[in-house]
Each structure stands twice: as structure tokens, then as C-alpha cells.
Amino acid sequence: MNTFSLGLRNLRRNYRRSLTTLLSIAFGFAAVALFSGYTKEVYLGLTQQAVHGELIGHLTLSKRGMKQEGRLKPEKYLLKADEIARIAELVKQAYPTARVAPRLALSGLASNGKVSTIFLADGVAADDMLALRGPRRNASGALSAEAPAGITVARGLAALLGLKEGDDASLLVSTLHGQANAADASIIDTYSTGNAGLEDKALFIPLALAQSLYDADERADRLTVLLPDIALTETARQQLDAAFTAAGLDVEIQTWQELSAFYRQVKGMFDMIFGFILSIVLAIVVMSVSNAMSMSVIERTREIGTLRAIGLRRLGVVRLFVSEAVLLVGLGCLSGLLLAVVVRAGVNAAEFSYVPPNGTARMLLVVGLDAGKMLFAAVLLGGLGLAAAIFPARRAARQPVIDSLAHV
Amino acid sequence: MSQPLFQLSGIERHFALGETTVPALRGVSLSIERGESVAIWGPSGSGKSTLLNLLGLIDAPNAGDLRFDGEDVLALDDDALTDCRNRKIGFVFQGFNLMPVLTALENVMLPLQIRGVATSVARQRASDWLAHVGLERFAAHRPDKLSGGQRQRVAIARALVVEPMLVIADEPTANLDSENSRAVIDLLQKMNQETGVTCVFSTHDPRLLDHVPRHVRLADGLIESDAHPETAS
């Protein structure tokens, strides 16, 4: 008869109390597992939206100071063709399969010939756009290499100007040197930005057309780097930073997390909610296990006295109760995992949808499984459950044997 | 002559009851030889259980010397005392004190398993002792499926399975009818004679004393008499 086997029998002996404790652990663990699974899917979606949807890529390279003064002194901060070539070469040396895409942002007025409205344009080459879109390459809004004057427009902007696919629009901008410049473009597609703030302003424009409009041939305000793997982001930043410094290039590197404020804000909020839920679950588990063990110790005081009398050391008594707590938490987490898997399957099958904050379209509520966070929660629950059992177990073990035997 | 199993001298034990101190033993000196069978008897409150607790090494005196198997046991720490009890002492309790979640066989195996004896060896020895007390057919029964007499026989098997030097039995017949009481005392006597284990038990039933060779009578925390009646069987 080992300690765990004896512990299991003692749990079955008080099955109502054990079941109540086990269920509180199971529901708590399931709540943690489901929420972490949901946030995992949200983070994955936000990551894809930032990297491939907003075309932020993994790293953004620009001249140091571009972010602060680039609009005021574009001539100084726009990358020149030779700088673009040198930077791209250094990136390719470190990551031969990485994609380096020159980009040029523009703003101005878009017109349908009768009315005008503000636009925020992102200039990118069609083939670079295809590469940056990655898994979203077939989504609407892609530029075409065969349409050098073809632009794609956010649906809100298209609606504002009453334009549709195949229509022409005029784009008026202020050039690099402060002069007005205009060009006609044809709308080859419309798309949804997924961001209410940009939906009536955003458009994509071929890089060459953007450079021509801005009177900045072969120049770019930034380079977007798509690495072979998103996990390389931080390593690549450090590696490239060293390489640029060694080459005498004053280049600032920003990661996609730094550039996607929405991702950071949502992740920060969900991480805080996760911590809050986990704290509540931990408090419930500690109280449940502590209560169950304290009751068990009181009820079994004579048994403890008998075990001590026939030769069980104090540590053996502690081990006995701790084993029961570990079994309770272990079985509770296992039941919670099964519950989470069933609920997850039900939620995913039901295809619930909702409009996310600042979103423009409904999206499916998808719950995943975050093994890392579940393991973290299980280990934390196990540790705290064990700590909650140790106190009453130690108290039981330290009680004089004759007092334990005389307990009624 | 060999060294006595127990040598007690000037043992005092008192308990705090609120602000009052209640003396349970007031300077008891006693020697118990190896292989003896001793009945501690006397009225309620005379100090029988207190003396047995001290002999069973589950309590310590406030004053006096206590030597067990030639060793000053009062100098041992808790783990050493616990190990000493496991190796050398078997307990039979008034309320049987069997583990309700274990079968009769598992209850008997328990002290051996605490000691770390291999399960197969413990199982075999426990089966042999259950057969010795006539309960081999009840090996798989839990305590709640056994009668009072059967439970006490399981407790006796559990006490003897470790082949102890001493069996301490505190009023082992208090919860039994007269027939079972007689059977339990006879069983303890038989084991004493067959294995040579020293048996010390307490009782307040004078009828059972006829079967025990040495009677120590306690009154008010003192030994009133220590007799070896010739009538003992």
C-alpha cells in the first residue's frame, strides 16, 4: 500500500467533500484553460493582422529620427537608392531568404472629380506586397504588377467617394519639395482594413507611382523586412543592429510589436484579465484544498495517532496528506482539461461571432489550446494546493501521539 | 540474570488542566523482565493508561528515568522513538484503531510497510499472522465488515507481525463482551507463551486477572501492589 494508493482511498471515503473540492479545481482550471486558449487565438489573429494584414512585416528599418522629424525634413530622412541597396545586402547576408520591401507613405486628397477627401496611402511594390501578405495573399486589396496605376482602396473610403472597382480617382499630394502634384489612378480592388479609424482613409498604391507622386524616385521612407520565422524577430533586430553599426549606417530598427499599438494594448489587457482570473482560481483552490485537508485532519486525528504509534514518522504523516492534496489537484486539473476540451469543441462548433473593439467586421469566436499557459496554471495550482495541505498536515504530524489517540 | 526489558524509577507524570496540575503518576518505579506477561489494573483514574503510554514510548514523564531494552529512551529524538516503536513495540488499542480504508490483511501489513519491508514479504507475513489469529478467511474484509472480537484479533495480528519485544494493550477488552474478552486475553497469553513476547495490558476487569501471572495494581498514581498469584494459568 503506497502513499498515493492510501490517499486515493481516503479521498473516496469522503467522496462528497472530495468531489466538491475536485469540481472547484476542475471548473477553475477549465476557466483558465478556455480563456488562455481564447487569448491565444486572439493574439495569433492580431499578429497575422499586424504582420501580414497591415503589412508591418517583422522588422521596420528607417533612418534614425525618421519617426520624429521625417515629415518635417523628408529630404533628410528618406532612404536613397544606394542606402536601400546596402541595407538590403546586409539583411540578405544575415538572412538570405528574408524579404526586404521598400515602402513610402503618402497623404493627400483623393477625389472622384466632384468631391475630395483625405487619404493615407501606403506605397509598396506589388510583388513585395504579395510576399508580405503571406498567408493572406488571396485576401482582397492586393496590388497588381500588371497595373502600374492601379490602386486598392479601403471600402469606407470607396464608399465616401462613391467609387467602385474599375472607377478612376485623382490623388493630390504635396511633393518632397512642397509642391502640389496629382496623378490619376484606377481602383482595381477594395478591401477592409479591420480598423474603424482607417477604413475611410486608407489605400495602397504601387511604390513607383507613390515615388513619382512624391517626386522621390527610387527613395523610400522605410524598409519592411519579412524574416523566415517570426520567432527570429528579436534576434534579428540585435544582429542587424550590430551589422548596421559596423557598416556605419545610422538605421533605427523597430519590431512589429513596437509598431502595432493595437496588438500591444489588446495583449496587455488580456494578460491582465488572465492574471486576474488565475488569481481568483488560485484563491478558490487554496481555500478548497485547505478546507478539505483541515477537515480530513480533524476527522482522522485518531488514525494519525495510531499511525504515529505504530511507527510512522512525522514526515510520513505530512506526506500522506500532501499526497491527497496532489491527487486532488491532479485529478481536478485533469477533469478541468477534459471539461475545457469539450466546451472548446462546443464553442468552436457553434461558430459564435462578434465585432471586436475598433473593428469593422464580425469575427468568429475561436478557442484554442495554450499548452504553455495550461502547464503553468497546473504547476501553480499544484504548488499552491500542496502548500495549502502542508499547514494542516504539519499541525497533525506535530500533535502529541497521546492527544491524537485520545481525540474523540 | 539478563537485563530487564523495562526499568522505570521515580516516574512522575502530571497534566495541566486549566490552571490546575493533575498528577497521574507520582513516583512509580517498576521493572519488567523479558517474556513477562503483566496486567496493570486498578480503578478509573489510577494512572493505568498513563503508565501504558509511557511504556509504549508515546508519552514522556515529567520526572524519573525510563530505560527500555537497556537504552535511555528519554534521550531519543522523535524520529528515533518512532522507529523504536515500529521495530520493538506492538499496540493493541481499546477501540481497535484499524484503518477503515484498508482490508484486514492491509491493516496487518501496515507496520511492516511503514518500516519499508517489501510488499510481497509483508503480505506473506501478514497472511501468516492472520491465520495465527484465525482470520485468514477475512483477509479481504474491511474493519466495518468484522465483529468487535474479529477487529481486536486483527489488531493483535498487526501488533505481532513486526515480531516486537513488547505488546502494549490498553484495556483491549473494554469494548468486547465477556466471551470475546476471554478469547482476546487467551490469545495474548498464547502469543506470549509461543513467541516469548512481553505483554503488558491494562484492565479494570478483575475476572481477567486470573489468566495473567503478574498483577500490578495502581491507585492514585502509585503502585499499590505488585503480585505474582499462583492461580495464574
Chain B closest CA to A396's CA: distance in Å? 15
Distances (CA, A) of A159 to A149, A151, A170, A191: 20, 15, 15, 11
Q: List the single residue in A with minimal CA-CA distance to B115.
A: A311
* Whole-structure pTM value: 0.76
* 3-state DSSP assignment of residue A170: strand
Chain A closest CA to B58's CA: distance in Å? 6
Q: Is B97 on the interface with A (CB under 8 A)?
A: yes
* 3-state DSSP assignment of residue A120: strand
B53 closest CB neighbour out of A1, A12, A402: A402
Cβ-count burial of A354 within 10 angstroms (0-12 exposed, 13-18 middle, 19+ buried)? exposed
Q: List the single residue in B with minimal CA-CA distance to A314.
A: B79
Task: Report domain extents, chain B.
Answer: 35-58+87-227
Q: List the single residue in B with minimal CA-CA distance to A404.
A: B58
Say whether pLDDT at B229 is over 80. Answer: no
B 55-74: CB under 8 A from A? 56, 58-59
DSSP string, A302-349: HHHHHHHHTT--HHHHHHHHHHHHHHHHHHHHHHHHHHHHHHHHHHHH
Kindly list the residues from chain B whose CB atom is less than 8 angstroms away from the CB atom of residue A312. Answer: 82, 86, 114
Q: Which CATH architecture has domain B35-58+87-227?
A: 3-Layer(aba) Sandwich (3.40)
Query: Tens-digit pLDDT profile for chain A (408 aa)?
Result: 678 888 889 999 889 999 999 999 999 999 999 999 999 998 988 888 889 888 999 999 999 988 888 888 888 899 999 999 999 999 999 999 999 999 999 999 999 989 999 999 999 999 999 999 988 888 889 999 999 999 999 999 999 999 999 999 999 999 988 899 999 999 999 998 877 888 999 999 999 999 999 999 999 999 999 999 999 999 999 999 999 999 999 999 999 999 988 888 889 999 999 999 999 989 988 898 889 889 998 999 999 999 999 999 999 999 999 999 999 999 999 999 999 999 999 999 999 988 777 666 677 889 999 999 999 999 998 888 888 888 888 988 999 999 999 877
A311 closest CB neighbour out of B100, B106, B115: B115
Contact A215, A32 (CB under 8 A): no
Q: Is B78 on the interface with A (CB under 8 A)?
A: yes
Q: List the single residue in B with minimal CA-CA distance to A302.
A: B97
